[in-house]
């Protein structure tokens, strides 16, 4: 059946209406897309704000040996005679000098904290003269040019302590070994430097005292009580000279 002309006219009108509607739809969609694209391309991200600078962790203990005399935090405790501890100039700064002749006394500074919170012990030291005949495995030879102690409280009594003993030893005690103390099972010796290879040269050290305590005693560390320094020659009746500086205990 052919399409009737009148019907064709109606179809033409309907077609034109559809075309107009389609054009309007396309124009609307085009304007909507253009608006979105303009918004996307014209938007500018806000400038990134610099994050605040992180402050370095603050040590709970710090000693630079500035000035001309030892600070009041240090107490000199004699075991046998007196090692001579003095502040001396060195390369534009001041450092602690220890001179021991057939003597043994210890500088002790109190510090109260947890090794969990403050595990990193750092310091630098230099040895000028090693004690002749020293051997840390024997009582008669248990002397060292330089020692840095960390003291822990294990009971209510004053003498109930455990010690980490970081040592610059003679060549008889190889670098890197751990030794039991010849005097007490509550003291663990870590040989950090040994011999004369670096004599008269500053050496910088860092230890994790939490890890070292667990390694030495097989238990969680109790609270810290003190940091101590010692250059001793009482057992060998010899002579030793050492220097200490930049001691910190921090996170």
Specify whether 26 is located in the same domain as 140.
Answer: no
Residues 214 and 174 in one domain: yes
Assess whether 27 and 82 both reside in one domain: no
Mean pLDDT along residues 132-159: 93
Same domain, 150 and 93: yes
Same domain flag for 167 and 240: yes
Shared-domain flag, residues 80 and 150: yes
According to the model, what pLDDT value does residue 19 have?
A: 33
What CATH number did the domain enclosing 134 receive?
2.60.120.260
**What pLDDT, in 10s, does the model give residues 198-226?**
999 999 999 999 999 999 999 999 999 99
Give the pLDDT score at 157: 79
* CA angle, 72 then 73 then 78, to 5°: 90
Q: Look at 22 and 96; give whichever has higher pLDDT.
A: 96
Strand ranges inside 140-220, DSSP E? 144-153, 161-169, 178-180, 187-194, 203-208
For residue 56, tell me if it sits in a domain.
Answer: no
Nearest CA among 26, 27, 29, 49 for reference residue 37: 29
pLDDT given at position 50? 53
Statement to judge: residues 32 and 69 lie in one domain: no
**Residues 23 and 65 both lie in one domain:** no
Residues 98 and 194 both lie in one domain: yes
Q: How high is the mean pLDDT of the chain?
A: 84
Number of domains the chain contains: 2
Residues 110 and 147 both lie in one domain: yes
Same domain, 8 and 36: yes
Is residue 55 included in any domain, yes or no? no
Asked if 7 and 86 sit in the same domain, the reply is no
Residue 23 lies in a domain: yes
Structural domain containing residue 141: 61-250
Q: What percent of the chain has pLDDT over 70?
A: 78
Q: What is the model's pLDDT at position 174?
A: 81
Q: Is residue 90 part of a domain?
A: yes
The answer to the question of residue 174 being in a domain is yes
pLDDT above 60: residue 88: yes
Residue 73 within any structural domain of the chain: yes
Residue 251 · residue 119 · CB < 8 Å: yes
pLDDT tens readout for residues 5-22: 333 333 333 333 333 334
User: In this predicted structure, what is the pLDDT of residue 56?
Assistant: 67
In a domain, 50, yes or no: no
Under a CB-based contact definition with an 8 Å cutoff, are residues 136 and 169 in contact? yes
CA angle 205, 211, 216 (to 5 degrees): 100
For residue 117, tell me if it sits in a domain: yes
């Amino acid at each position: 059946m052919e399409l009737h002309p009148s019907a064709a006219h109606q179809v033409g009108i309907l077609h034109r209406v559809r075309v107009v509607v389609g054009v309007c739809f396309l124009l609307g969609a085009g304007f909507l897309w253009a608006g979105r694209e303009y918004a996307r391309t014209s938007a500018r991200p806000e400038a990134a704000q610099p994050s605040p600078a992180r402050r370095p962790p603050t040590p709970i203990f710090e000693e630079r040996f500035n000035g001309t005399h030892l600070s009041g935090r240090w107490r000199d405790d004699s075991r046998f005679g007196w090692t001579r501890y003095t502040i001396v100039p060195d390369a534009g700064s001041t450092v602690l000098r220890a001179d021991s002749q057939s003597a043994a006394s210890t500088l002790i500074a109190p510090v109260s904290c947890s090794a969990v919170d403050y595990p990193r012990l750092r310091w630098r030291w230099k040895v000028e003269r090693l004690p002749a005949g020293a051997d840390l495995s024997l009582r008669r030879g248990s002397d060292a040019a330089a020692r840095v102690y960390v003291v822990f409280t294990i009971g209510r009594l004053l003498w109930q302590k455990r010690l980490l003993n970081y040592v610059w030893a003679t060549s008889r005690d190889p670098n890197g070994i751990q030794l039991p103390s010849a005097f007490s099972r509550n003291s663990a010796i870590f040989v950090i430097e040994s011999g004369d290879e670096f004599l008269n040269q500053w050496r910088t050290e860092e230890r994790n005292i939490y890890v070292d305590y667990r390694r030495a005693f097989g238990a969680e560390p109790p609270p810290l009580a003190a940091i101590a320094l010692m250059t001793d020659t009482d057992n060998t009746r010899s002579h030793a000279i050492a220097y200490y500086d930049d001691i910190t205990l921090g996170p």
